[in-house]
Amino acid sequence: MALMLRAVRRQFSTSVIRNSAQESSGHDGGVMWRNLSLFVGFPVIGLCMINAFLDHQKHAGHERPPFVAYEHLRIRNKPFPWGDGKKSLFHNPHTNALPDGYEDEL
């Protein structure tokens, strides 16, 4: 019984010296990461690009919703400091309406 307890205690005790099974020089790490980025990273990025493109194509055929002039939307207390003051910095005439409606419907 004492031998088993000693073996268990020795199993769970830590030692200062740890013997490694294999010593490596660390020179192969760069090759591994290069291969990983070439054969895993770039194909995953390509698949994500294809997924985003196909999702965009699916939504491109939808028509935009009709303009409804809600009082709480598109409030302009002072004009924007660029252009005519009505359009935001990243204004898209197809999707973003002005306070009085879409540009092509005016």
Which residues touch 76 (CB under 8 Å, ≥6 apart)?
85, 86, 99
CA distance linking residue 81 with residue 78, whole number of Å: 9
- Alpha-carbon span 43 to 49, nearest angstrom: 10
Q: How far apart, in Å, do the first and last CA atoms of the chain sit?
A: 94
Phi and psi angles of residue 51, each rounded to the nearest 5 degrees, phi first: -60, -45
User: Containing H/E element for 46?
Assistant: helix 42-60
pLDDT at residue number 55: 93
Q: What pLDDT, on the 0 to 100 scale, is given for residue 16? A: 58
Give per-residue pLDDT as tens, 44-83: 999 999 999 999 998 877 888 899 989 898 888 999 999 8
- Give the pLDDT score at 63: 85
Q: Whole-model pTM above 0.75? A: no
Where are the chain's structural domains? 61-106
pLDDT at 25: 60
**Cα 66 to Cα 40: distance, rounded to the nearest angstrom:** 44
61-106 architecture in CATH? Irregular (4.10)
Helix (H) / strand (E) element for 29: namely helix 29-36
